[in-house]
Amino acid sequence: MSTHLTSRKRSSLWSEILIVLLGLGLVIVFGAVGLQGVLSLVQTLPVTGEKAYWFISRSSGVLAYLMLTLGVMWGLVQSGGILRPTIPPALALGLHNFLNWASLVMALVHGLILLGDNFIKLSLADVIIPFHSPYEPLLVGLGVLGFYLMFLLGSSFYVRRTIGQKTFRVLHYGSYPTYVLVTWHSLGIGTDSWLLWPLYMASIGGVILMTMWRIANTGRGTSLSR
């Protein structure tokens, strides 16, 4: 019996190590590609038009928001445990982790690319210090705070064993205030935000429905996974 338990613990440990290595690998590759893309854009954007930086920022911001929404919704599916009989836990956790870091990378591009914009003229301090920006300080500050919370949540996967499952779970309730901050930032900033309202409404509606589904199925996922 003890040998069987030891074997299961070793298998679980190797699965978590594999997830960590996979997550780090994806982050490094995704980050390298993103950095290369940004460096290429820096060289070409000045000659493509003054609004190019803003367009890239808006596009990457929308992608970041989409991935954040998918990450939150997938986290609710995963925590409910309904798909555990059909989807391996390692794959489910790896997908959740990837969505979080992909959203972070896109959010980083979203903010840093604006350093080249000559209209709003943001400095590095404006981009990384909450509420420091002279342009829409509240809304930009909410976005910066949301980014740091996203980074905290994404990093928590790699210290899960150290902080314990209970603390890890409590920490991940921070996904909700993070989502609210980023949604507030997205809804309020930019003169063309109204064009994206269908996207935001679909995202908010989806997260609310998934949360209600998760609450309704509390305990059911646990029983199914036994």
pLDDT digits (tens, 9 = 90+) for 26-82: 556 655 655 555 555 556 555 555 677 888 888 899 889 989 998 898 888 777 666
Check residue 201 and report its DSSP letter.
H
Question: Residue 221's pLDDT is what?
Answer: 44
Residue 225 predicted with pLDDT over 60: no
- For residue 159, the model assigns a pLDDT of 84
Which of 151-160, 175-184, 192-201 has the least mean pLDDT?
192-201
State the chain's mean pLDDT as an integer.
78
pTM, to two decimals: 0.74
Angle formed at CA 37 by CA 33 and CA 40, multiple of 5 degrees: 140
- Exposure pattern of 54-82 as b/e (b: 16+ CB <10 Å)? bebbbebbebbbbbbbbbbbbbbbbbbbb
Q: Report the phi/psi class of residue 51: left, alpha or beta, with left for phi > 0 and alpha for psi in -120 to 50.
A: alpha
Q: How many degrees, rounded to 5, is the angle at CA 18 between CA 28 and CA 168?
A: 90
CB 35 within 8 A of CB 28: no
